[in-house]
């Protein structure tokens, strides 16, 4: 006897069961999975091994992907060849050894005024930054702008400008923490970026830039303590995204901003 259900009716019923949370199909009668078969299955004849092929006629094996050391060496060579910031941006755009590039919408290079006495280095672009192609434009970036304005500074202020970038120019998937290999790959570009931008001091926001330039992390212990990297004074600070999650830490952030302002006066 033919089933009274046509294809579309059966599909509708199946879709309804999936909507109700059904995730497994069962049979009318239970099956004992512990039962052993009465007779062992017959062994099937093994297929005959193929005849050896002529090595000359075999297709060439694909080139192996460069190892981490090769990727860092390529980054170092590309960064060293850049003579200005535009050349460095072009070198980053042409760099093909970082897998993050394939999943990002835009290369996020920098914002603010190049040559500013303060260069702020963050971790990596987020969703908003990836969409716009500029660093620190989401909620964390808006808080950063307010923090800078509180000490009479800003990325667009010609009288007291800042220059902003990140360790990674491409957004990691789901905003995950950058991996050590990715940081090592981008470090030659970061160092060259700092040399070409020529700031008087650096602000490292969060653990990733501290790990990249200072070789250590633990921002809650390091924040507010001046260090040195690339012959420049370095101030580790909480990332604005952390301050959004932990408003109580804004008191320490304010103290760090005052220390930044005082250091600038000292250097001037």
pLDDT tens digit string along 141-191?
Answer: 999 999 999 999 999 999 999 999 999 999 999 999 999 999 999 999 999
Give the residue, 4 or 168, on which the prediction is more confident.
Answer: 168
Look up the CATH number of the domain holding residue 242.
Answer: 3.40.470.10
Q: Is residue 62 part of a domain?
A: no
Share of the chain above pLDDT 70, in %: 77
Nearest alpha-carbon partner for 236 in 134, 154, 120 = 120
Q: Is residue 12 part of a domain?
A: no
The 10s digit of each residue's pLDDT in 199-231 is 999 999 999 999 999 999 999 999 999 999 999
Look at residue 85 in the predicted model and tell me its pLDDT. Answer: 98
Q: Structurally, how many domains does the chain consist of? A: 1
Q: Is residue 46 part of a domain?
A: no
The 10s digit of each residue's pLDDT in 15-51 is 666 666 666 666 666 666 566 556 655 655 555 655 5
Which residue range(s) make up the domain with 210?
69-267
Share of the chain above pLDDT 90, in %: 74
| Residue whose tokens read 């909620």 | 139
Residue 152 Cα to chain centre, angstroms: 31
Residue 265 has pLDDT above 80, yes or no: yes
Q: Is residue 35 part of a domain?
A: no
Look at residue 1 in the predicted model and tell me its pLDDT. Answer: 45
Look at residue 87 in the predicted model and tell me its pLDDT. Answer: 98
Q: Is residue 184 part of a domain?
A: yes
**CA angle at residue 219 from 216 to 224, to 5 degrees?**
110
Expressed in angstroms, the distance from the first to the final Cα of the chain is: 95
Task: Evaluate if pTM is beyond 0.85.
Answer: no
> CA-to-CA distance for 154 and 198, rounded, in angstroms?
17
Give the residue, 114 or 24, on which the prediction is more confident.
Answer: 114
48 phi and psi angles, rounded to 5 deg: -65, 135
**CA angle at residue 92 from 115 to 242, to 5 degrees?**
70
Residue 58 has pLDDT above 70, yes or no: no
Q: Is residue 18 part of a domain?
A: no
Look at residue 63 in the predicted model and tell me its pLDDT. Answer: 46
Q: Which two tokens stand for residue 227?
A: 């260090």
Whether the CB-CB separation of 166 and 109 falls below 8 Å is answered with: no
Split at pLDDT 50, 70, 90, the class of 3 is low
Q: Is residue 40 part of a domain?
A: no
């Amino acid at each position: 006897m033919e089933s009274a259900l046509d294809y579309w009716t059966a599909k509708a019923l199946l879709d309804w069961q999936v909507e109700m949370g059904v995730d497994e199909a069962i049979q009318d009668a239970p099956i004992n999975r512990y039962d052993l078969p009465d007779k062992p299955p017959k062994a099937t004849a093994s297929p005959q091994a193929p005849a050896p092929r002529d090595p000359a006629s075999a297709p060439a094996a694909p080139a192996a992907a460069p190892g981490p050391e090769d990727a860092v060496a390529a980054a170092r060579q590309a960064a060293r060849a850049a003579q200005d910031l535009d050349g460095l941006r072009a070198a980053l755009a042409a760099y093909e050894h970082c897998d993050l590039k394939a999943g990002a919408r835009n290369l996020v290079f920098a914002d603010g005024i190049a040559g500013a006495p303060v260069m702020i280095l963050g971790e990596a672009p987020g969703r908003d930054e990836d969409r716009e192609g500029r660093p620190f434009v989401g909620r964390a970036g808006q808080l950063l702008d307010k923090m800078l304005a509180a000490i009479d500074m800003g990325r667009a202020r010609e009288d007291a400008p800042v220059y902003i970038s990140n360790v990674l120019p491409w957004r990691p998937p789901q905003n995950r923490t950058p991996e050590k290999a990715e940081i090592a790959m981008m470090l030659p570009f970061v160092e060259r970026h700092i040399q070409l931008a020529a700031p008087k001091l650096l602000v490292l926001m969060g653990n990733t830039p501290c790990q990249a330039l200072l070789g250590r992390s633990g921002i809650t212990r390091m924040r507010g303590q001046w260090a040195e990297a690339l012959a420049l004074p370095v101030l580790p600070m909480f990332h604005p995204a952390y301050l959004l999650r932990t408003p109580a830490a804004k008191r320490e952030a304010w103290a760090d901003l005052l220390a930044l302002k005082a250091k600038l006066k000292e250097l001037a």
